[in-house]
């Protein structure tokens, strides 16, 4: 399995799109760029009705977020995998408490409907559908609020989070027991993801200034409709993104029953691998494979319109499939990436989350996202979780009295006040004994 963890399918991030809201777009959408679409056979895979506003928002955010991750110097060179729905769910609850420019920026980045009632009903229906438990696969999602027990959150905000997003509130002692609180949150994430997402919130991320943590978890486990035969899996070369040739366990389906949704253009091939549904909501993995060596062209072009065109163009046909087993874990700290997408105010002391506490004295200290996926001959297991950590600002809202609390490293200067001439300068990292 160690070798398989080094492998990534082209655009592996698309797999969770299938887990969340795939199958929500309508027919008649434009075909993707990159050449004329090869005429599919007579039997087509139907594309369901038009997207819901929440599905449309989630998909739009997914492609934009992927491009920003791919362009980010910290995350763009290696494997990428995330759950757009996990992020959207956690930030929708966050947006419920935002006001003014802070709310506008969150709505813009995540493409949430301006109509708050439409957003609430959309998430309520989507979450209920995911948790319906009438399928052959396992698919579930959960939200939760973790609040500092002494902090006066508005009852209407707490109630909205529970009524529309299923996020119940647990009071914790962030002030006196931040580490114990962190462990409690991480245990909840582990339980919701069948132990696939561990240590979501690392040590030190929660401290005495933390007032609220908003979490989402999503988990999927499904078996292929047409499983791969393990006896036919063979070691094969894989050309990695950095140019290296690596040996991977390559699964294959070349028999006469290898009938899958397929389409191609001059630039790429697309393959749809369905999971057993048991008569419930159908879920599949969409794999997009460039015909050349470079993936950058598809990464830059892929958007909702292209995605819709691919899905509309899929037709069932016999395909000889060679697919590597792969597994990966990813973890992202997202203030920089989301700020680059236009969500800046929320991470500053000027943030307005007065819809949470009535004062606006909170800001987002960090947003953490972690994901896991493993695909083999039987199917796929995937999980992801998001934590939005809000802290109290150093300037309490309302009284206008500044607070200077030197309880962390600081610099100091001894200088001539009249001339400004610096005589001594230092940094205190650890005051030590007096």
pLDDT at 9: 35
* Residue 292 buriedness (CB in 10 A; 0-12 / 13-18 / 19+): exposed
| CA gap 277, 225 in Å, rounded | 8
* 139-172 pLDDT per residue, tens: 999 999 999 999 999 999 999 999 999 999 999 9
Q: Would you mind telling me the total number of residues written for the chain in this entry?
A: 434
pLDDT band for position 367 (cuts 50, 70, 90): very high
Distance CA 192, CA 190 (A): 6
Q: What is the DSSP letter of 3?
A: T
Strand partners, 214: 145, 388
Q: Is 398:391 a contact under the CB 8 Å cutoff?
A: no
**Predicted confidence (pLDDT) per residue in 352-364, tens digit:** 999 999 988 899 9
Q: pLDDT tens digit string along 99-116?
A: 999 999 999 999 999 999
Please give the mean pLDDT across all residues of the chain.
82
**If we measure between CA atoms, which residue out of 251, 263, 273, 272 comes closest to residue 322?**
251
148: helix, coil or strand?
strand
Q: Quick check: 390 and 367 in contact, CB under 8 A? A: no
Comparing 419 with 44, the larger pLDDT belongs to 419
| pLDDT above 80 (res 183) | yes
Strand order in the sheet with 379-392: 168-172, 138-148, 210-223, 379-392, 362-375, 326-333
Please, is 389 exposed, middle or buried when counting C-beta atoms within 10 Å of its C-beta (0-12, 13-18, 19+)?
A: buried
Domains of the chain: 4-223+325-392 (3.30.497.10)
Strands 379-392 and 210-223, by their bridges, are antiparallel
CB–CB of 327/50 below 8 Å? no
Residue 47 to residues 23, 67, 265, 311, Cα–Cα distance (Å): 6, 25, 19, 7
- The CA–CA distances, whole Å, from 175 to 146, 149, 151, 199, 392 equal 13, 9, 10, 20, 11
Under a CB-based contact definition with an 8 Å cutoff, are residues 364 and 90 in contact? no
Kind of pairing, strands 284-290 and 268-274? antiparallel
> Are 31 and 313 a contacting pair, CB within 8 Å?
yes
Look up the pTM and report it.
0.81
CA distance 248 to 229: 16
Least confident of 70-84, 280-294, 384-398: 384-398
Question: By the 8 A CB rule, do 163 and 348 touch?
Answer: no
Q: Using the predicted structure, report yes or no on whether residue 56 has a pLDDT greater than 60.
A: yes
Query: Of residues 34 and 253, which shows the higher confidence score?
Result: 253
């Amino acid at each position: 399995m160690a070798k398989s963890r080094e492998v990534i399918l082209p655009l592996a991030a698309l797999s969770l799109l299938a887990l969340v809201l795939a199958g929500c777009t309508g027919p008649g959408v434009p075909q993707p760029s990159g050449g004329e679409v090869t005429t599919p056979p007579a039997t087509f895979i139907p594309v369901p009705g038009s997207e819901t506003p929440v599905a449309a928002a989630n998909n739009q955010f997914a492609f934009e977020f992927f491009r920003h991750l791919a362009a980010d110097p910290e995350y763009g060179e290696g494997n990428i995998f995330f759950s757009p729905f996990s992020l959207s769910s956690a930030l929708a609850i966050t947006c419920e408490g935002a006001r003014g420019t802070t709310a506008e920026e969150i709505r813009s980045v995540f493409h949430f409907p301006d109509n708050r009632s439409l957003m609430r009903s959309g998430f309520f229906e989507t979450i209920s559908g995911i948790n319906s438990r009438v399928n052959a696969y396992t698919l579930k999602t959960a939200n939760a609020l973790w609040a500092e027990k002494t902090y006066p959150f508005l009852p209407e905000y707490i109630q909205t989070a529970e009524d529309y997003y299923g996020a119940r509130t647990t009071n914790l002692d962030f002030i006196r027991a931040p580490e114990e609180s962190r462990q409690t949150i991480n245990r909840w994430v582990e339980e919701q993801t069948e132990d696939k997402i561990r240590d979501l919130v690392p040590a030190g991320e929660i401290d005495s200034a933390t007032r609220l943590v908003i979490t989402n978890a999503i988990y999927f486990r499904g078996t292929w409709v047409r499983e791969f035969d393990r006896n036919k899996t063979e070691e094969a070369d894989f050309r990695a993104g950095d140019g290296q040739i690596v040996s991977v366990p390559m699964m294959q389906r070349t028999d006469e029953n290898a009938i899958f949704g397929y389409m191609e253009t001059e630039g790429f091939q697309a393959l749809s691998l369905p999971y057993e549904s048991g008569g419930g909501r159908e879920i599949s993995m969409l794999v997009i494979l460039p015909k050349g060596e470079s993936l950058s062209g598809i990464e830059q072009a892929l958007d909702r319109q292209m995605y819709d065109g691919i899905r509309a163009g899929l037709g069932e046909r016999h395909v000889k499939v060679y697919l590597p087993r792969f597994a990966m874990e990813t973890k992202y700290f997202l203030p920089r990436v989301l700020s680059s997408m236009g969500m800046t105010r929320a991470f500053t002391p000027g943030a307005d989350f007065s819809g949470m506490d009535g004062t606006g004295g909170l800001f987002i200290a960090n947003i953490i996202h972690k994901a896991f996926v493993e695909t083999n001959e039987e199917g796929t297991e995937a999980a992801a979780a998001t934590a939005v950590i809000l802290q109290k600002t150093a300037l309490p809202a309302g009284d206008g009295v500044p607070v200077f609390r030197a309880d962390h490293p600081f610099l100091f200067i001894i200088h001539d006040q009249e001339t400004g001439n610096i005589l001594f300068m230092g940094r205190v990292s650890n005051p030590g004994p007096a």
